[in-house]
């Protein structure tokens, strides 16, 4: 077993800290209904999550994973979606079990923490504040603050700079392939949570150093003085 000395922890948001599917589905269906289109069930919308709101909207409009709608239609849909979601960002979204308690414990352990998400800032900060976990994060980095988002490593590198920790002293916790790819490109270890919006992707094959079925399990991988225990060598 190898060890990794960690000072900073980076956390994804949707699917890792918060189950946002219900509110995202409501916003998508409001948009679709206003545009005179059929609405979708929550499970279908959950399958669109993982690449940011703009891509979710495009999937809703085209029915394709990487389809591109008419630009004018997309702009109209994006405005409808954003206005609604901003007003209802935390109506039904909930922290996953153990998130608040584990963040509090990690804070007490002395870790510096950042939330790094592809979600726009107009949604990210109100959501974290409404659910009571914003104070745990020294840095909140949203998807509209930089020219590139995950799976590009830039957000992780900037988060480390803002935390004041080196990349070789940080780890990422996420639920998706984008998280694993970003961490690998940034040359930092990633812990994958077994729930969330990974859509059946094999996160271990994408470089996850460890996978935990619960958020509380994240802390079980850490010990005093920030020693991160890996069950295998870094990929």
12 catalytic residue (yes or no): yes
C-alpha to C-alpha distances, 34 to 29, 39, 40, 76, 82, nearest whole angstrom: 8, 10, 13, 10, 13
- CA dist 33 and 191 (Å) reads 38
Q: Contact, 142 vs 124, CB < 8 A? A: yes
According to DSSP, the β-strands at 94-95 and 227-230 are unpaired
Taking Cα atoms as reference points, which of 57, 84, 85, 53 lies closest to residue 73?
Answer: 57
Neighbours of 83 (CB within 10 A): 13
The pair phi, psi for residue 134, each rounded to 5°, is -55, -40
Which of 145, 97, 135 is closest to 113 using CA atoms? 135
Q: Read out DSSP for 185-218?
A: HTT--EEEESSSS-TT--TTTTT-SEEESSSHHH
Q: Which of 12, 14, 51, 175 is catalytic?
A: 12
Looking at the annotation, which residues are catalytic? Answer: 12
């Amino acid at each position: 077993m190898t060890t990794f000395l960690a000072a900073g922890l980076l956390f994804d948001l949707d699917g890792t800290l918060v189950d946002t599917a219900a509110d995202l589905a409501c916003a998508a269906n409001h948009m679709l209904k206003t545009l005179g289109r059929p609405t979708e069930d929550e499970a279908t919308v959950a399958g669109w999550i993982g690449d940011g709101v703009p891509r979710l909207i495009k999937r809703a409009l085209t029915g394709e994973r990487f389809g591109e709608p008419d630009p004018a239609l997309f702009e109209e849909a994006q405005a409808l979606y954003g206005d609604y979601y901003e007003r209802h960002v935390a109506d039904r979204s909930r922290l996953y079990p153990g998130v608040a308690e584990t963040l509090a414990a990690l804070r007490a352990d002395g870790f510096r923490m950042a939330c790094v998400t592809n979600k726009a800032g107009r949604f990210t900060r109100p959501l974290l504040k409404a659910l009571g976990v914003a104070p745990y994060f020294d840095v909140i980095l949203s998807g509209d603050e930089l020219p590139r988002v995950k799976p590009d490593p830039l957000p992780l590198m900037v988060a480390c700079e803002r935390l004041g920790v080196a990349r070789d002293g940080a780890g990422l916790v996420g639920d998706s392939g984008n998280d694993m790819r970003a961490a690998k490109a940034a040359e930092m270890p990633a812990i994958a949570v077994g729930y969330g919006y990974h859509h059946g992707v094999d996160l271990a094959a994408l470089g996850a150093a460890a996978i935990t079925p619960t958020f509380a399990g994240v802390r079980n991988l850490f010990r005093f003085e920030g020693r991160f225990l890996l069950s295998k060598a870094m990929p």
